[in-house]
Every structure is written in C-alpha cells, then in structure tokens.
Amino acid sequence: MTTLITKTITKICIPLVSLFSISLLLAGHNNPGGGFIGGVMFASVISLTYVVFGLNYTKSFFNPSWDKLFGAGLLIASLTAFGAILYGNNFFRSSIKFVDIPLYGEIELASATLFDIGVYFVVIGTLLHIFKNVGEDK
C-alpha cells in the first residue's frame, strides 16, 4: 500500500481533506455536512496517513492524544447544553444570533454549531484513539 503514487496522493489529500472537513462542520447548519460527517472525514484522512506512511513514522511528527480530544469534545457538548441554564433557559435550549461582520456580511452564530463542534471532536477522538491503539497492538 505504500507505493510512491499513494504517498504522493496522500500528501495532496491531507490539507485538502482537512480543510474540507472543517468546512463541512461549519456549513452543517444550513448545507450538507455537520459534526459527524466532518469528524469522520478528518478521521479518515488521518487514518489514511497511518496506513500509507506507517503508524510509527506518522507518530514521530504527529502524535496528539486523541483521548483528550474526545474528552474535550464531550465537555464542549455538555457545556453547551448546560450553558442554556446559565441564561435562565431550560437545559439544551438552543439559541441563534446574527452578527454583522464588516466587509464580510452577516453571519449566523448558533449554539447548535458549538454543540456540533463537540460532536466533531468526539468523533475524531474516538475513531483515531481506537485506530491508533489497534494499530499499536502487537
């Protein structure tokens, strides 16, 4: 699987797919996409790297602790849910705000997007945590 062709293609893919996954995440509220899809996409490009370049080589320059990532994701998601209570609303009540940014125009800030970011982290974290550990297993 580690031919020159796959290596070259993977190198091109990594930045493109990563950016695409983030755009999927942020676009999710109004267009196709969302935290889950974005997360799976990001996880697949990293696992592609693991497969093509080998786990040990990849780990030598890129080795985040995925367990912390999914922990953080779960924290963000639950804090979003609890955040509504701070504003006197019921648990999980979502809210939307439209903010005008100069030169760019109006953007929509939704608490649901924050929740989706939590989902995104959880999906990436859990999938890659499992992959890495299964891969390391002798």
Partner 1 sequence: MESFTAIILAIFLPFAAAIFIPLLEKFLKHRIGWFAAGIALLSFALIGIVAPEIIHGHIIQHSIEWMPSIGAEFSIYADGLAMMIGFIASGIGVIIMSYSNGYMSHKEDLPRYYQYMLLFMGSMIGMVFAGNTLQLFIFWELTSITSFMLIGYWRDKPASIYGATKSLLLTAGGGLFMLAGFILLHTITGTYDIATILQNPAIIENIKAHPFFLITLILILIGAAAKSAQGPFYIWLPNAMEAPTPVSAFLHSATMVKAGIYLVARVHPIFSGTEAWFILVSGIGIFTMLLAGFLAFRQTDIKAILAYSTISQLAYMMTMYGYTSYHEPGLGVAAATFHLLNHATFKACLFLVAGIVAHEAATRDIRKLGGLRKDMPITFIIASIAALAMAGVPPLNGFLSKEMFYETSVEMGHIIGGPFTFLIPAAAVLGGVFTFAYSIKLIDGIFLGEKHHGHLPEHVHEPPYTMLVPAAFLAGLVILFGLVPSIPVHNIIEPTTAGIVLEEVHLHVKLWHGFTPALFMTVITFIAGLTIYTRYDSIAAWQDKFNARYPWISVNYYYDRIVDGAKGSAKGFANFTQPGSIKLYIYAILFLMVILFAIPAFMMATQVFPANLNFDIPPYEALILTLMVIASVAAATLHRYLPAVIALSAVGYMVSLVFIYLKAPDLALTQVLVETLATIIFLLVIARVPQTFKEKIPKTTLIRDIGISFTVAATVLVLLLNATKGIAPPFESLSHYFLENSVKLAGGHNVVNVILVDFRGYDTLGEISVLCLAALGVYNLIKSRGEGE
Chain residues binding partner 1 by CB under 8 A are 24, 28-37, 40-41, 43-44, 47-48, 51, 67, 70-71, 73-74, 77-78, 81, 92, 94, 96, 108, 110, 112-113, 115-116, 118-119, 122-123, 125-127, 129-131, 133-135, 137
Using the minimum distance from each CB to partner 1, give the nearer residue, 97 or 103.
Answer: 97
In the complex, minimum distance from the CB of residue 4 to partner 1, in angstroms, rounded to a whole number: 19
Q: How far apart are CA 138 and CA 119, in angstroms?
A: 31
In the complex, minimum distance from the CB of residue 36 to partner 1, in angstroms, rounded to a whole number: 7
Q: Who contacts 20 (Cβ-Cβ below 8 Å, separation ≥6)?
A: 41
In the complex, minimum distance from the CB of residue 63 to partner 1, in angstroms, rounded to a whole number: 16
Q: How far apart are CA 44 and CA 107, in angstroms?
A: 29
Which of 47, 40, 50, 48 has the alpha carbon at shortest distance from 20? 40
Q: Which amino acid is at 133?
A: N
> Which tokens sit at 120?
């995104």
Using the minimum distance from each CB to partner 1, give the nearer residue, 5 or 90.
Answer: 90
Q: Which amino acid is at 103?
A: L
In the complex, minimum distance from the CB of residue 11 to partner 1, in angstroms, rounded to a whole number: 18
Using the minimum distance from each CB to partner 1, give the nearer residue, 34 or 53.
Answer: 34
Residue 109 in 3-state DSSP? strand
Phi/psi at 87 (5° precision):
-90, 15
Using the minimum distance from each CB to partner 1, give the nearer residue, 103 or 105.
Answer: 105
